[in-house]
Amino acid sequence: MRIAYLITLLSISITAIGQSADTDVILTSMKAELDRNMKELSIEGYEKPFYIGYGVSDIKTLNVSASRGGLIASSVDSSKSWYARVMVGDYTISDENYQDQKLNFDQEFSYENLPLDNNPDGIRRSLWISTNNIYKSAAKLHKSKIQLLKQNNIDSLPLADFSKEPVQSIYAPKQFEFDPLSQYEKMIMDLSSSLNNAPSFRSETSLSLLAANHYFVNSEGTSVVTPYELSQLSMVTQRLDNEGRFVGARLVYMNNAKEALPEVSDINADITRVNMELNKQIEREPFSDLYYGPVLIEGELASDFLTAQLFGSRNASIFPDRQNLVNSDEANVRSFIENQQKQLEKKTQKIGSSNLNIALYPKLDAFNGQKLIGQMTIDAEGVVPPDTINLVSNGQLIGQLNDRTPTTTTQRSNGHNRLHFNYMSSFKNVAPSNIAFTPTKGQSAEELKKNLIQKAKDLGLTYTLIFRSLKLNADQSNLYECYKVSTETGEEELIRIDRLNLAGNNGLFRISGMSNQLEVHHSLGYGMGTLPMSIICPQSILVDGFEIGGNDNNRQARYEPSIPAPGE
């Protein structure tokens, strides 16, 4: 059964705070200092700020780690992290999106730490010092920018510097309490012991819980207080084969803490499967051929391939890319403006197969009965995202994720300047939420395998490859099986390929088939820290021109111990 005590072990107990916004010390302090700075902040000869925004995260974390059944780290911590945005000018021409290397900035840029005890004087003093420093820089930059435009007889720029967005008001803080640390320690030590049932080179089991209330106010009148929660259980094990080559596995269970993580019995079932699969893998001879041809990627690997290609390719960017105006000679300024105008008039760009569509569904909480963890209601700038954001249609890039800085592709924010947390601090990045990769025309599993074999035959190959992710209870794992498929008989032979590189240029163009069955996978953000994201994608993908070099050709690392490990 889904036992109630696991909820106390793996999820964060939540109780709504019974107080009004007027009595919240953090919020009232932020508003008071913002109002004071908007009214009084000025420097003779420079314009006053037209926009100020403050974000403060009140953070609690719990971290427990164990190795081979022994506790190696355990802590509960609190911190406050914050950011400020101060702009001079107006929405069309501000100090941002501009560089002047001739200017000297001699003030201190570092943020002052906020008090943990919600002392209003301490909060306001920290905001005051950093606001003052940021304003000095912004005022100088804006004055320089205006002078540059006047010197070149330029009245306006093709692209505004800041977008106007609706004012929002949300007050939904929560009070977070962790259960006694000893309970989490016992659970992690027990799981670590189970993971180490088979001899291993190294192993570690860790649990991280995060709970935060994020406060955001700006001079436009937006006031938002929202909770953020995240739980992550990770297990890593690594072993050596007889030749000193490393084989290993990583399992991750994640949740945005509205529900419990899997039962301990499900986690232990995964551990048993991992130990069994690694033992089998060690016994197989590594694949040493050099293969170039079509491959079929199934399960979580399909999600990994799509996200690696989309987030890692410069040619297929769904992220904003705006060039800064640089204080330079007239020719360069004119060239900058002409180029910006051309980009605004540019037609959509082809970034992948005509069968590929990509969209975001930030408010969707479930798909086909499976919970999504990338759900969001408002971003770190106080912007509410739309229900659907279409990014790619039939292989054409038709939109990008964006914050309040307009780009040539998207002039308004679509609410995806997301808040995330790392090392007891909060950050904001333009990043996806729930992202869906769907085919215009999907195929059955039988059709995909048939097409895979035919493509390999056309290249004169005697075999082709299928990579299948193992089905586990974990939300993420790096375990997969590779099958060598005869192009004559279609028979599958299990082989060992330890390293699979899913990155590479123009991979989205090499997709020649996708399954009509969709699956859900979870991630904490591709290269973006702790950003919960759910990926809806085809169960399998047929990719042309995939290069597999084998372990030796990929320079697989080897380890040669002087004596056996203790206990072996």
Angle at 84 between CA 79 and CA 87, to 5 degrees: 180
What token pair was written down for 491? 């028979």
- Asked if 529 and 463 count as a contact pair (C-beta separation under 8 A), the reply is no
Other CB atoms within 10 A of residue 492 CB: 17
Which domains, and CATH codes, for the chain? 13-228 (3.30.2290), 284-322+331-553 (no CATH)
Could you tell me the CA-to-CA distances from 556 to 247, 285, 417, 480 in Å, in that order? 10, 13, 39, 17
Give Cα 239 distance to the centre of its chain: 29
pLDDT (0 to 100) of residue 528: 53
pLDDT (0 to 100) of residue 316: 61
Give Cα 483 distance to the centre of its chain: 31
pLDDT (0 to 100) of residue 260: 62
Main-chain phi, psi angles of 229, to 5 degrees: -140, 145
Helix, strand, or coil (residue 118) = coil
pLDDT (0 to 100) of residue 527: 53
What token pair was written down for 79? 């911190």
- Encode the chain (568 residues) as per-residue pLDDT tens digits: 333 333 233 333 333 333 444 448 999 999 999 999 999 999 999 999 999 999 999 999 999 999 989 999 999 999 999 999 999 999 999 999 999 988 877 655 567 788 998 999 999 999 999 999 999 999 999 999 999 999 988 988 999 999 999 999 999 999 888 889 999 999 999 999 988 876 667 899 999 999 999 999 999 999 999 999 999 999 999 888 878 888 889 999 998 864 567 789 999 999 999 989 998 988 888 888 899 999 999 999 999 999 999 987 655 688 888 889 999 877 788 899 999 998 888 877 899 999 999 999 999 999 999 999 999 999 999 999 999 999 999 999 998 999 999 998 889 999 999 998 887 888 898 999 999 999 999 999 999 999 999 999 999 999 999 999 999 999 999 999 999 999 999 999 999 988 888 877 789 999 999 999 999 999 987 555 678 999 999 999 999 988 887 544 445 567 777 777 776 6
Sign of CA dihedral 376, 378, 383, 384: positive
Main-chain phi, psi angles of 163, to 5 degrees: -95, 145
Type of residue found at 133:
N
Q: CA–CA separation, 71 vs 85, rounded Å? A: 42
pTM of the model: 0.90
pLDDT (0 to 100) of residue 47: 97
pLDDT (0 to 100) of residue 5: 31
